[in-house]
A and B are shown apart, each in its own frame.
Chain A
Amino acid sequence: DAGVTQSPTHLIKTRGQQVTLRCSPKSGHDTVSWYQQALGQGPQFIFQYYEEEERQRGNFPDRFSGHQFPNYSSELNVNALLLGDSALYLCASSSGPTSGAQYFGPGTRLLVL
């Protein structure tokens, strides 16, 4: 049973560029949440997708957007990258949008130069 997978594992971009990160949820899960984790900090909630719609959003600007596909996989897009966007981006899947038991992927490490 495959767990949550994310791609790519690492990424280097320059300021102003755009990036797309991908996530496949654990088998049987229909909800995907995205988190940003800066070095030395706990993960911060970006948004959650369920039934192909954004259900809840954290305190992140509109430069951060996402999408969920019919197979429940998801993408996180970040436009106009800033140096401060450098972080580990984590995807978590769950069964339903209100579950507190979420299963995290290994993350994508983004470095913005």
Chain B
Amino acid sequence: DAKTTQPTSMDCAEGRAANLPCNHSTISGNEYVYWYRQIHSQGPQYIIHGLKNNETNEMASLIITEDRKSSTLILPHATLRDTAVYYCIVRVSGNTGKLIFGQGTTLQVKP
């Protein structure tokens, strides 16, 4: 699976959009981008995933660049409850269930 690079930490004002970047410059054509988050003292929570088209669900939007070397997770209206560690994971779909977590980005939403 391709390696990902994320900023260690980010701040966001409550009510504003939180844009979390992820670099995956060595991604292969059959690798998907997954995002999870982990709120303090809880298990990770699946957010969204995509291959090359932008995706949106009730939690967030995922924007993948045309060359697929980077992506951005967007929380449109961040709340204090969105404070968490956000993990970007690249994996081949249909190959394995193993998820490889890096260090992630600690997002702090401030009032």
The count of residues in chain A whose C-beta lies closer than 8 Å to any C-beta of chain B is 29
Is the Cβ of B97 less than 8 Å from the Cβ of A56? yes
Is the Cβ of B97 less than 8 Å from the Cβ of A98? yes
Q: How far is the CA of A41 from the CA of B85 in the complex (A)?
A: 11
Q: How far is the CA of A71 from the CA of B94 in the complex (A)?
A: 24
* Closest CB in chain B relative to A8 CB, distance in Å: 15
Let me know if B21 is at the binding interface, CB within 8 A. Answer: no
- Contacts A42-B103, A42-B104, A45-B100 known; A103 to B95 CB distance under 8 Å? no
Contact mask B33-69 → A, CB, 8 Å, 1/0?
Answer: 0100000001111100100000000000000000000
Count of A-B contacts with CB under 8 A? 66
The count of residues in chain B whose C-beta lies closer than 8 Å to any C-beta of chain A is 23
Further pairs besides A90-B43, A104-B45, A105-B43: 7, Cβ < 8 Å? A4-B43, A33-B98, A35-B101, A48-B97, A56-B96, A97-B97, A107-B43
Interface, chain B (partner A; CB < 8 A): 32, 34, 42-46, 49, 87, 89, 91, 93-104
7 A–B pairs (Cβ distance < 8 Å), ordered by A? A4-B43, A42-B102, A98-B95, A101-B46, A103-B46, A107-B42, A107-B43
Interface, chain A (partner B; CB < 8 A): 4, 31, 33, 35, 41-45, 48, 50, 55-56, 58, 90, 92, 94, 96-107
Q: Which 10 A-B pairs have the closest CB atoms?
A: A42-B101, A104-B43, A45-B98, A104-B44, A43-B101, A98-B94, A97-B97, A101-B46, A48-B97, A90-B43
